[in-house]
């Protein structure tokens, strides 16, 4: 996370500026995979009953708990899987760029499940989802979104493509032999993402959440009318502190998007020009800091106006 729409707009901007070369050729041949790559690191979070292995894979690709976030991508690129791999990895690197730019702000404003203060910890996942959903709605108002913002349209032609499953298996699980399982994870994400636009699905999740507590945070994923009314909270700059370092910052969405696009271009250029074995260690996607910086998040403000109006 951030959610899909913001990732796709950033990926589109990166893709439009690609210079001639191997990666641009791959993206032009497989645009759906490029845009899927831009959200693929989050697909594991949409496995509703995840095994311990799936949870660990999700942590690994996000570089949490000191785990190197480029490990799977390095394996893919060194495997020489061709255009399919290049398109997916290029999109994936734009995801990294967006996360490291936006996540410090998001966690500061919504809290963390690891926070010491119960007021910050309780409900943090719902706040995280809801904030990013309202951010998506703000972006939908202002920028063209590929394929109308529907993941199913992007991945539809690749649903049974074993090459895609092998690349995803290597990227998520460090195991190309997990192709069938990886393909199912991709298709499940596509199905669920389409439901986020459904009023009926939102109603069912609301009702089920009354008796199934773990479903309650999922309420924040739906593009609700109430959230549409609140998208104006992003019209001006927002002030926050880095949740780990405490560094103060103030910026608007547009400025952060420009920063993420520039970072994405740098990372995709790395894919084009630098052998995978020479890549730097992948960052923590939650903090943007090196993965060996294991200091906890300490700085939060879940009552910061006007953003707190999203959940208050």
Q: What is the pLDDT of residues 196-236, one digit of tens each?
A: 999 999 999 999 999 998 889 999 999 999 999 999 999 99
Distance CA 300, CA 110 (A): 7
What is the mean pLDDT of the segment spanning 103-111? 97
- Describe the chain by its helix, strand, coil percentages, rounded to 5: 65, 5, 30
- Look up the domain containing 239 and give its range: 4-310
Distance CA 85, CA 79 (A): 9
**68, 276, 279 from 73: Cα distances, Å:** 10, 8, 10
In this prediction, residue 214 carries a pLDDT of 87
Largest CA distance in the chain: 54
CB 183 within 8 A of CB 42: no
What is the mean pLDDT of the segment spanning 107-124? 91
**70, 82, 137, 232 from 77: Cα distances, Å:** 11, 8, 34, 41
In this prediction, residue 167 carries a pLDDT of 95
pLDDT classification of 2: cutoffs 50, 70, 90: low
Q: Helix (H, G, I), strand (E, B), or coil: what is residue 44?
A: helix
Distance CA 312, CA 293 (A): 33
In this prediction, residue 1 carries a pLDDT of 57
Higher-confidence residue of 251 and 68: namely: 251
Tell me the per-residue pLDDT of 74-103, one tens digit each, with 9 for 90 and over.
999 998 769 999 999 999 999 999 999 999
Tell me the per-residue pLDDT of 278-296, one tens digit each, with 9 for 90 and over.
999 999 999 999 999 989 9
Higher-confidence residue of 57 and 268: namely: 268
Distance CA 179, CA 80 (A): 16
pLDDT at 159 over 70: yes
- Average pLDDT, whole number, for the chain? 94
Tell me the per-residue pLDDT of 248-275, one tens digit each, with 9 for 90 and over.
999 999 999 999 999 999 999 999 999 9
Q: Is the backbone peptide bond immediately before 2 cis, with ω within 30 degrees of 0?
A: yes
What is the mean pLDDT of the segment spanning 22-39? 98
Q: How many domains does the chain have?
A: 1
In this prediction, residue 47 carries a pLDDT of 87
pLDDT above 90 covers what percent of the chain? 83
pTM for the model stands at: 0.96
In this prediction, residue 80 carries a pLDDT of 76
pLDDT above 70 covers what percent of the chain? 99
């Amino acid at each position: 996370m951030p959610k899909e729409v913001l990732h796709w707009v950033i990926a589109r901007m990166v893709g439009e500026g690609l210079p001639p070369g191997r990666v641009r050729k791959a993206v032009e041949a497989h645009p759906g995979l490029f845009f899927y790559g831009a959200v693929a690191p989050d697909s594991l979070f949409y496995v509703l009953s995840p095994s311990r292995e799936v949870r660990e894979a999700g942590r690994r690709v996000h570089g949490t708990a000191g785990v190197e976030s480029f490990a799977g991508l390095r394996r893919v690129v060194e495997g020489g899987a061709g255009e399919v791999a290049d398109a997916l990895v290029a999109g994936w690197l734009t995801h990294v760029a967006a996360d490291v730019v936006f996540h410090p702000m998001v966690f500061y404003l919504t809290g963390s499940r690891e926070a010491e203060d119960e007021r910050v910890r309780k409900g943090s996942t719902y706040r995280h989802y809801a904030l990013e959903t309202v951010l998506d709605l703000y972006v939908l108002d202002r920028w063209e979104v590929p394929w109308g913002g529907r993941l199913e349209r992007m991945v539809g032609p690749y649903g049974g493509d074993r090459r895609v499953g092998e690349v995803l298996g290597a990227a998520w699980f460090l195991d190309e032999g997990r192709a069938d399982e990886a393909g199912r994870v991709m298709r499940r994400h596509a199905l669920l993402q389409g439901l986020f636009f459904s009023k009926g699905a939102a109603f069912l999740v609301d009702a089920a959440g009354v008796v199934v507590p773990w479903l309650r945070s999922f309420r924040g994923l739906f593009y609700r009318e109430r959230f549409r009314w609140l998208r104006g909270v992003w019209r001006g700059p927002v002030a926050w502190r880095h949740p780990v370092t405490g560094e103060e910052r103030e910026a608007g969405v547009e400025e952060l998007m420009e920063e993420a696009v520039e970072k994405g271009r740098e990372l995709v250029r790395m894919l084009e020009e630098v052998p995978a074995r020479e890549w730097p260690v992948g960052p923590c996607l939650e903090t943007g800091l090196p993965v060996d910086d294991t200091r906890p998040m300490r700085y939060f403000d879940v009552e910061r106006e006007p953003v707190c109006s999203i959940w208050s």
